[in-house]
Structure 1
Amino acid sequence: MADLYRRTVLVTRPEPGLSDTGFALERLGWEPCLAPMLRIYSVPMKQAGAVDRVIVTSGQSLEALRVALPPATPLTAVGARTAERARTLGFTAVDYAEGTANSLVGHLGRAGGRNSVLLATGRKLGVDLAAQLRMNGWRVTRRVVYRTEATESLAPAARSLLEQERVAAVLFYSAATARAFLDAFGEERGLLGSVRALALSPTIGRTLGAAPFREIAIAPRPEQQALLALLGPLPTSDTNTARREIAP
């Protein structure tokens, strides 16, 4: 009978995206518990000179780009959600790949005549992607436009729900959030034994393997819809959703 009460889903991602996921869970009848494990800080972009295109690997990059680049600058986003947010912020020439760094490489292909690109990314991120693009003939300028800081502990309300075994699953959108989540438990990872971990990519899944989750499931595509589909049906059809807001 305990499973009948497991309707809560912990969401570990930061904004932008945290609230969007919470509302998506509510629409499906789950009870989202918003427990972001990272704080994001925008970093003013250093001058990059003239570029033919900007490449965005995360929606976290867009705030800095919005104030640094003309809205007509061609922008290639890592996936559809990031592209949608870029359009919302005013960018008018937006296309997108299939949600991963490798898909960006394939989407851009070999460099043509206009081959100068700006890769806007987070601190210590994007180095491998820049190298792959250069191998395909692109002239890449990499700029750090945001940094992340791990939240040192899980919010008390989220921990309490885990201790009461009221959590059905935890959603993970990046390896960084997965590491921060596991670090917050330290030697108390046994609390996760009754919980499913749902990961957006195999890389995230491998990070989560360091904890004794009941199950680690990987989305077949790096998209939120595919990740949420892993939840399956609610324990019962009689749900009373109540969204829990957790301070980061």
Structure 2
Amino acid sequence: MVRVLVTRPEPGASRTARRLEALGFQPVLLPLTETRPLPVETSIGADAIAVAVTSANAVRHAPRALIASLAELPCHAVGKRTAEACRAAGFLVVTEGPGDAEALADLIAGGVAGKAIVYLCGLVRFQAFEQRLTAAGVDVQPIETYDTTGMDYSDADVVARLSGRPVEAALLYSAKASAALVSLIARPALRQLFEKTQFLTLSARVAGPLEGIAGQAIGIASQPEEDALLALLSQPR
């Protein structure tokens, strides 16, 4: 059975593990990042006409009072999973985007040009979404509901989680996780565990930190969503 390393934070890691088991793979959980809520001001400007969300974590960590104050505004979610999280959180009208933050910005820019939107987001995030909207004349009001931090593992921790055996594939969902994995691979005690690993990434940006690993197989999902990422597992290695 192919062993697949899952590097995303909980609770997504366990959800992905269940999907892998159903597909006939053996998941190995090693979250390389974790998310935690940030203190948030629950009042917003009265001029906002819509909400944008590019990460399910942004609504998962948002205070209930904040969600309640925004729930009646049209909500633009980046993709399917985020849209589901927005509906579960209490947003009444949720539009599911194309799965890519920049594409979502292009999609909604025309309808909100010259107006203000609230952007539920993390402290650490890719800036292109806001930049595209700002360039289109949209007043983006970011509300940072969570932070993403790295996980610290000793060599012994990693060896124990991997049962001392190499993994055939690793799933990577963020550039931060990719950089963290590169750091682990650089450790002499761990290098042999990743000598034949295929690195499967959610996007070219996520794959970026892996470029310095010579001779390794790197796959990039056709779309920045988990279904496309898992589809890479069925391709010849």
TM-score class normalised by the smaller sequence: 0.7 to 0.9
TM-score w.r.t. length of structure 2: 0.86
1:109-128 aligned within 5 A: 109-112=109-112, 115-128=115-128
Give the length in aligned residue pairs.
229
What's the secondary structure of 1:197's corresponding residue?
Answer: strand
Q: Distance in 1 between matches of 2:151 and 2:175?
A: 14
Provide Cα deviations, 1:74-131, integer angstroms capped at 9, x if missing partner.
2111111111122122222111222222111122132447821011211142543222
1:1-248 aligned within 5 A: 7-46=2-41, 47-50=43-46, 51-65=48-62, 67=64, 68-70=66-68, 71-112=71-112, 115-153=115-153, 156=156, 158-160=158-160, 161=162, 163-165=164-166, 167-188=167-188, 190-191=191-192, 192-212=194-214, 214-232=216-234
5+ residue gaps, structure 2, are none
Q: Distance in 2 between matches of 1:15 and 1:123?
A: 18
> Cα offset for 1:223?
1.4
5+ residue gaps, structure 1, are 1-5, 236-248
Tell me how large the CA RMSD over aligned residues is: 2.5
Q: Distance in 1 between matches of 2:79 and 2:155?
A: 30
Q: Distance in 1 between matches of 2:24 and 2:6?
A: 15
CA contact (8 A) 1:118 1:142 kept: yes
Q: Distance in 2 between matches of 1:112 and 1:123?
A: 24
Which structure is higher in RCO with an 8 Å CA cutoff and minimum separation 6? 1
Q: Distance in 2 between matches of 1:182 and 1:81?
A: 28
Provide Cα deviations, 1:156-210, integer angstroms capped at 9, x if missing partner.
5653538533x11000011111112222343436332211000010111121112
Letter in 1 for 2:220: I
**Identical aligned residues as a percent:** 30
